[in-house]
Structure 1
Amino acid sequence: MSKPARIPAAAQADAAAPQLARKVVKQRVQAAVFYWERVAKRDKPRVEDVHQLRVWSRRSMAAVELFLPFFAAKPAAELLGMLNKARKRAGKARDCDVLLAKLDKRTREALAEHLETLKTGRAESAEKLQSAYRKKVRSGKVADCLADLQKESAAKNHSAKSNGHVPPQAQFGVWFLTQFAASSADFIQQLRPAKASLRRIHQLRIDGKHVRYALEIGLPALPKAAGKQLYASLEALQEQLGEICDDLAFAERFRELAAGLKEKQQARLEKEAARHDEQAQAGFEKFSRWWRAANGRKKLQRQFAAIFAPLADIKPRGSKPAQRRKSQ
């Protein structure tokens, strides 16, 4: 399989939305399965394969959730459930990989007794992914669920056309703007407070990631400059938030690992935790300056407004935007 495309070239403004929904979801699920298979085939899965499985599971979920109005509820829920479990298990293995990569020589020495536990935790997560691959992928359950989704989607669309509920060829451009406005509403709401909040950083990161993955699908249907600018801003924000959240998580994990160690080793880990706390605080101060700046969150709000401006002159037709499920 060639490297999967983040941005589907077929997602043009005049494309038929129902058919595009099936095509995009199929492509993203196949990408997730591709990396799932790579993870399952090795006793010690490669770090990059685990990472890509996590990413493409999220992208697949974002696609299913974006196109929910075109899908039957049962196969969509089943597919989302399988993808979400894969994402969580890959996430646990990925967290171990990132933590192990952060350890310098002195910290490794202090954690000598815990290193095997960390590696065992990573191996257990990989083993669960391998077991799930056999039960869900190799058994054909994912393929069957995807086929049911595609089949019931086509039948639902045909029935809706007959009943006049959905335009026979609902164009993706207008439909995407309406759906994207609904799916990004929570994130945009979080940009309204005048003061940044460390407590809300984690949720802002989660919602921002979901918005970015949904935007990837619709980029070809948007004005090129406006779409690229919004996507670049979301990527930059995600990087900022990711660094802060990672440092907070590392600090907490090092304190957990320090419990029960000898005094010297404990001091070393507590020092490492304090260092990550300082980095998180420095990152948050930088983020707060961005939040207050004219080219910070206000610029991001303007970019969203520019994307949604055409909706003011359009009376949306077709299915009511679905509410996405909360996932990390």
Structure 2
Amino acid sequence: MSKEIELKLALPKAALTALRRHRLLQSAEKLGNAVTLINTYYDTASLTLRDRKVALRTRKQGRKWLQTVKCAAVSSGGLSSRPEWEKDFLGAFDFTDVTDGPTAALLDEVADSLVPIFTTNFRRDTYRLNPDSGVEVLLMIDNGKVEANERTADICEVELELVSGKPDDLLALACELATDIPLMPADRSKAERGYRLFNDVPESPVRAAKSAIRPDQSPIDAFKALASECLSQWQANALAAVSEDEPEYVHQMRVALRRLRSLVKLFAPALPDEFVQTWAALLRDTASEMGDARDFDVFLEEVLDPVTPAPMLSETLTNGLRERVLAERARARAEARDRLTHSDQGLRMLRFARALHAMQSNALDASADLTAFALLQMDGLKKRARKRFALAQGPDPDHIHELRVALKQLRYGSEFFLPLFDADAMKPFMAFMRRAQEQLGYLNDVEIARGRMLGWLEASPELSPAAHFVIGWHAPRCLKIRRRILLEVEPMLWGKAAWKRPRKQSKPKD
């Protein structure tokens, strides 16, 4: 058995030439000519192997055939590690070399039921790089297709495989390449893509995963687990947003970045100061770069579309305003796509993954009680929200926005720490927080749209009737929601905290 440690990176086909001309590849050893690799993946008709996270394939490389078995990979930031068994394929499967007992037993059990499920067919260029003393990395450029049930999808990716050295050496090399080339870490394997194609599962925006931290983890270990999930959500949505027009990809990408930024602040007392300062700023800036694209989607769908001038006014009253919003949205989407295809996007992901991988626990962190840490941080978020609530009693809409942000951080903290708390006590609190965020989100959306409309009037005074009509149409609802949400939030902030240890989890002894 070998232990495969690799880093998978996606790139647009248009960047292949620039990659091959990169200084690192120009000085590397090219291992022969490009080869065509035809891989057939096998499983049972009910996809037993996929369900058990085992991949079985045969590969034709020239005249040679190989059989490969792989188990589930632990992947973060595109960096994955998994056990692999490879041997010559002589026309019949042979699993005698599979040293993991449960995997070998599973393969033997289904051996007579295996059928081809999908194929991958791609050209591979391989280079040997020695970026530092004692470090050897194979860089493979794969360009081709995955095919299943007469459906196809493109493959265009780079795999960095560690021959000798440390996993950080892969991330360091990827960061150097991504400085010049639009590379983006990709956690999804060719096998995963093949199965999705076989089942005709369409791409869809990736939402935040449920927290899976444990009370026995240290704060740094919990942070790394949560941050890895946020990073995966960021990566997946950013990668899809490059080619998909569905605005929800950009929205979920920004959700991932906001959650990640909140997570850094939440765990700041346990993290290195330099890490917190660097990434609090970079994550804020990265989310802001996509802000216009999301704002104009919301402007159109939540602010403009519900407004109905008829029957009292002409149905065409808002046409000019709609045209302006559509034009601004098209511009913002183009700018967002340019940002996503720039090398900065993938580089930030890789740098974050590298910083996360390098972060080590210490004796103080290891001795800390994670639940006690969580309770302390949640109390701090609640105190901050109380201060924002007091300011929100005035007429300034910025103070309502600040309250919304404080409550959102309280919600994110609740979601991150949820496995540590009494679930029954948290359910009504979480439900309330979701409703509150929806209401406060509406107020924020209308306020942003109002500011944009008023800002256009000096250069485009003809938009004034429509802009003021839209603002007036939303005003009564905004006033009603603002009054109601402040009344509902007050007892939640000053009442007994919902977060507490579950009954079976006792406090650690002194």
Aligned amino acid, residue 272 of structure 1: V
Structure-2 residue corresponding to 1:235? 434
* CA distance in 2 between partners of 1:255 and 1:141 (Å): 35
| Secondary structure in structure 2 of the residue aligned to 1:145 | helix
Of Structure 1 and Structure 2, the greater strand share is in 2
Q: Does 1:64 align with 2:274?
A: no
Structure-2 residue corresponding to 1:12? 214
Seen in structure 2, the aligned counterparts of structure 1 residues 302 and 192 have a Cα distance that, compared at 3 Å, is: farther
* CA distance in 2 between partners of 1:72 and 1:127 (Å): 33
* CA distance in 2 between partners of 1:229 and 1:266 (Å): 44
Q: Does 1:202 align with 2:401?
A: yes
Structure-2 residue corresponding to 1:148? 355
Structure 2 residues without counterparts, runs of 5 or longer: 1-187, 189-203, 306-314
* Residue pair 1:251, 1:277 contacting (<8 A) in 2 also: no
Q: Deviation of residue 174 (structure 1)?
A: 1.4
Seen in structure 2, the aligned counterparts of structure 1 residues 68 and 262 have a Cα distance that, compared at 3 Å, is: closer
Q: Deviation of residue 5 (structure 1)?
A: 4.3
Q: Among residues 466, 469, 473, which one is paired with 1:268 in the alignment?
A: 466
Give the TM-score of the pair, scaled to structure 1: 0.76
Q: Does 1:286 align with 2:496?
A: no
Q: Report the more deviating stretch, 116-125 or 54-63.
A: 116-125
Seen in structure 2, the aligned counterparts of structure 1 residues 24 and 185 have a Cα distance that, compared at 3 Å, is: same
Q: Does 1:307 align with 2:472?
A: no
Seen in structure 2, the aligned counterparts of structure 1 residues 248 and 54 have a Cα distance that, compared at 3 Å, is: same
Seen in structure 2, the aligned counterparts of structure 1 residues 192 and 52 have a Cα distance that, compared at 3 Å, is: same
* Residue pair 1:110, 1:269 contacting (<8 A) in 2 also: no
Aligned amino acid, residue 249 of structure 1: I
Q: Deviation of residue 167 (structure 1)?
A: 5.6
Q: Report the more deviating stretch, 24-33 or 230-239.
A: 230-239
Q: Deviations over 1:1-31 (max 9, x none)?
A: 694544312x233333322221111121221
Structure-2 residue corresponding to 1:109? 319
* CA distance in 2 between partners of 1:172 and 1:123 (Å): 41
* CA distance in 1 between partners of 2:389 and 2:341 (Å): 41
Q: Deviations over 1:172-196 (max 9, x none)?
A: 2112112222244211333458x83
* Residue pair 1:212, 1:234 contacting (<8 A) in 2 also: yes
Q: Deviations over 1:241-284 (max 9, x none)?
A: 22222223333333333444465x53232212222233322322
Q: Among residues 271, 279, 301, which one is paired with 1:79 in the alignment?
A: 279
* CA distance in 2 between partners of 1:316 and 1:61 (Å): 33
Structure 1 residues without counterparts, runs of 5 or longer: 318-328
Q: Deviation of residue 78 (structure 1)?
A: 3.1
| Secondary structure in structure 1 of the residue aligned to 2:368 | coil
* Residue pair 1:215, 1:231 contacting (<8 A) in 2 also: yes
Seen in structure 2, the aligned counterparts of structure 1 residues 276 and 125 have a Cα distance that, compared at 3 Å, is: farther
* CA distance in 2 between partners of 1:93 and 1:128 (Å): 12
Q: Report the more deviating stretch, 31-40 or 244-253.
A: 244-253
* CA distance in 1 between partners of 2:388 and 2:238 (Å): 34
Q: Among residues 126, 130, 134, which one is paired with 2:340 in the alignment?
A: 130
Seen in structure 2, the aligned counterparts of structure 1 residues 76 and 196 have a Cα distance that, compared at 3 Å, is: closer
Give the TM-score of the pair, scaled to structure 2: 0.51
| Secondary structure in structure 2 of the residue aligned to 1:14 | coil
Aligned amino acid, residue 428 of structure 2: Q
* Residue pair 1:244, 1:280 contacting (<8 A) in 2 also: yes
Q: Among residues 363, 383, 386, which one is paired with 1:188 in the alignment?
A: 386
* Residue pair 1:251, 1:274 contacting (<8 A) in 2 also: no
* CA distance in 2 between partners of 1:74 and 1:59 (Å): 19
* CA distance in 1 between partners of 2:329 and 2:366 (Å): 54
Seen in structure 2, the aligned counterparts of structure 1 residues 131 and 307 have a Cα distance that, compared at 3 Å, is: same
* Residue pair 2:257, 2:284 contacting (<8 A) in 1 also: yes
Q: Does 1:54 align with 2:54?
A: no
Seen in structure 2, the aligned counterparts of structure 1 residues 146 and 247 have a Cα distance that, compared at 3 Å, is: same
Q: Deviations over 1:201-248 (max 9, x none)?
A: 111001111121121100110111222222222222222222222223
Q: Among residues 348, 366, 372, which one is paired with 1:168 in the alignment?
A: 366
Aligned amino acid, residue 247 of structure 1: V
* Residue pair 1:4, 1:31 contacting (<8 A) in 2 also: yes
Seen in structure 2, the aligned counterparts of structure 1 residues 316 and 123 have a Cα distance that, compared at 3 Å, is: farther
Q: Deviation of residue 63 (structure 1)?
A: 1.6
* CA distance in 2 between partners of 1:144 and 1:284 (Å): 41
| Secondary structure in structure 1 of the residue aligned to 2:217 | coil
* Residue pair 2:375, 2:500 contacting (<8 A) in 1 also: yes
* CA distance in 1 between partners of 2:377 and 2:357 (Å): 20
Q: How many residues align?
A: 292
* Residue pair 2:241, 2:337 contacting (<8 A) in 1 also: no
Structure-1 residue corresponding to 2:412? 213
* CA distance in 2 between partners of 1:223 and 1:30 (Å): 27
* CA distance in 1 between partners of 2:419 and 2:409 (Å): 18
Structure-1 residue corresponding to 2:65? none
* Residue pair 1:247, 1:279 contacting (<8 A) in 2 also: no
Q: Which has the higher contact order (CA 8 A, sep 6+)?
A: 1
Percent identity between the two aligned chains = 20
| Secondary structure in structure 2 of the residue aligned to 1:266 | helix
Seen in structure 2, the aligned counterparts of structure 1 residues 27 and 270 have a Cα distance that, compared at 3 Å, is: same
Question: Which of the two has higher C-alpha Rg?
Answer: 2
